Amino acid sequence: MSHPPEVRPHAQGGAGAALPRRRVLQLSGVATVGAALPALGGVSAQASSSVRTVDVDTRVVTGAFNRALFSCTGYAQLKLDGSALALDSYRQLNPVGTQARIEVMMNQASPARGEFRPDQMLRFVDNTGDAYVNHVDGLGMEPVLLCAYNTGWLTQTGALNEAPTDPRAWADIVANVVSHFNGEGTDPDYRLRVRYVEVWNEPNLEQFWLGSDEEYFELFRITADLIHARFPGVLVGGPVFSPGIEGYYDYGKAFIDAAGEHMDFFVYHSYGDTPAKVVADLRLWESYIRDHTTKADPKLMVTESESFFDSAALKVQDLLGRQFSLIENSGHLLGWHQFTLLEYREGTYTFGLVRRDGSVFDRNYWPYWLFRDVRGETLRVWTQGARSRGEHVVATRDEDGRGVSVVYWRDPALADGSQPTRFTMELPGDGRDRILVVSMVSGTSGQVVAARRVDGHAGLLTETVRLAPGVAVAHTLVDAGDARVPWLGLAASAPSVTVGSTFTATARLVNTTPAAVSGVVRLIGLPGDWQVRLVSGAKEFADLETGGVASAAWEISATSAATDIAYHADVQVTGADATHSIPLRINATAS
């Protein structure tokens, strides 16, 4: 059996090759931006002439925000193998409105001619009673079905990367899958539970497709025509191709020439691309589809993507730049998927946002976390005042108007110097009290830095922060009635130590709820024989008002060797919901 879907041999590039236009950044010092936060709300008169102002009118909607640009592949693996902490780390990214790429394996869906098994057709997970798809729906994610590879009875040798011996029979399996979820298009209760279908995965790589290019193009045409005939509104995409070999642009163009009239959206994968190349490729494919088909409004989707850097700090900046580039150039883009959600090692590189133990890959997780509340409708934004090169900003509100989020970042490849930045929001004055939560990503970490209550009758909100190049900030207004969980962060002085040495872990709680809270902060998960001593702050806090901060720091002595120990801060709270920090990892090696 030749069925290697785990292997993706297209991870290429390094920091130098990936971002030739970006200078090497020393971002570690950026983390000290928090020191300026006591001045949140104003800057000195002397500095006011150089203030950059970002104005947001929360009452003026300019369009719909495409939350699917923040999709991640691999949720099934996370659900199957991830701990409760890992699942919670992902939920803190607020996946509502993103897409879930679901792998439907043809050999599992139809193991024999005339047999259809919807309970076992999904890779990694059991779908008895549609349990997995119901779970995805419950999280607010939209399915994208990847219908992949062959089934034994449609092969000559049993190899699942063979071209189907009967393309129509293979297409019939896909139709059975869609019918299972949606019903038949002629049924009165027909519904678009599934709207997006991908045909095969990376057929330009021999490990996934042994047939000719034309055989794949024919399979796509037959499948797309069948789905269109039976299931109105279901969109079929291809060729789902990899950039891992030479000639992939020619492959994509050949597919459009051969099957472009049959496709609803063009799908490709993006690995090792700069933000500039990401945008250039979007433009290239949009233009080619317009010029070579009758489609005046081409649609695209990228269902795998990653970039590669030796420096985690550079990777954070790259992801911020990429996501803003997508937001600003996504008129024809249905979705963009980061590969992958759960840790996945290939060669010397480990993909992922979240590890099985709940700790995270800082380089990927925190940029996505900063955008966690950006959704719904885009708002009118304008900037004025001091010139600011390389700035990017997006503002949204929930469709019900209860929540607002503004994310701002200056590209350190273009920005110069520390910049006082004043954010003003014209508020709806609807009588709903809200909590303003200020979040920052600097260096390779993210945290909530401040919070305060905003009166529901206020007409204008103003906050000012001083931002170094590369620091990204989010100002989020949360309906006070929905703000039930305080923020708890955890930072450590080192990710690894030698046995017998010490490191410091500092927990910081910000009350982002409307009520005073009390509680006790604990460290959870460290080896039982390690020595832990409180050295500053206090574990207990009482009657902490909205925006109040409680912190505690422990000196920890590693008395024995340990590998990849995940630990976190935990707090049981009176007056709000219990919460915990994102876990950290520590290693202790013999000296």
The verdict on residue 88 lying in a domain is no
The verdict on residue 299 lying in a domain is yes
Into how many domains does the chain fold?
3
pLDDT in tens, 178-214: 999 999 999 999 999 999 999 999 999 999 999 999 9
Pairing mode of beta strands 71-72, 333-338: parallel
Assess whether 497 and 547 both reside in one domain: yes
The three state secondary structure string of 146-190 is EEECCCHHHCCCCCCCCCCCCHHHHHHHHHHHHHHHHCCCCCCCC
Assess whether 432 and 458 both reside in one domain: yes
pLDDT in tens, 31-65: 222 223 333 333 333 344 589 999 999 999 999 99
Residue 546: CATH number of its domain: 2.60.120.570
The verdict on residue 34 lying in a domain is no
Assess whether 116 and 197 both reside in one domain: yes
Looking at 331, 359, 387, the residue that finishes a domain is 359
Q: Which of 66, 576, 88 is nearest to 371 (CA)?
A: 66
Assess whether 501 and 470 both reside in one domain: no
Q: CA dist 194 to 124, 212, 550, Å?
A: 19, 29, 46
pLDDT of residue 573: 93
Do 206 and 161 meet the contact criterion of CB atoms below 8 Å apart? yes
Domain residues for the domain of 150 are 98-310+322-359
CA distance 552 to 366: 23
What pTM did the predictor assign?
A: 0.91
Assess whether 389 and 475 both reside in one domain: yes
Looking at 482, 497, 524, the residue that finishes a domain is 482
Assess whether 298 and 405 both reside in one domain: no
Residue 151: CATH number of its domain: 3.20.20.80
pLDDT in tens, 507-566: 999 999 999 999 999 999 999 999 999 999 999 999 999 999 999 999 999 999 999 999
Instruction: Name the helix (H) or strand (E) containing 226.
Output: helix 213-230
The verdict on residue 49 lying in a domain is yes
3-state secondary structure of 453: strand
Q: What radius of gyration do the chain's Cα atoms show? A: 25
Assess whether 222 and 106 both reside in one domain: yes
CA distance 330 to 336: 10
Looking at 449, 482, 515, the residue that finishes a domain is 482
Assess whether 390 and 420 both reside in one domain: yes
The verdict on residue 12 lying in a domain is no
pLDDT of residue 50: 85
- Which stretches in the chain have pLDDT values below 70? 1-49
Assess whether 336 and 475 both reside in one domain: no
pLDDT in tens, 354-390: 999 999 999 999 999 999 999 999 999 999 998 889 9
Residue 462: CATH number of its domain: 2.60.40.1180
The verdict on residue 345 lying in a domain is yes
Amino acid letter for position 510 = V
Assess whether 354 and 457 both reside in one domain: no
The verdict on residue 21 lying in a domain is no
The verdict on residue 350 lying in a domain is yes
Assess whether 497 and 419 both reside in one domain: no
pLDDT of residue 21: 20
Assess whether 130 and 173 both reside in one domain: yes
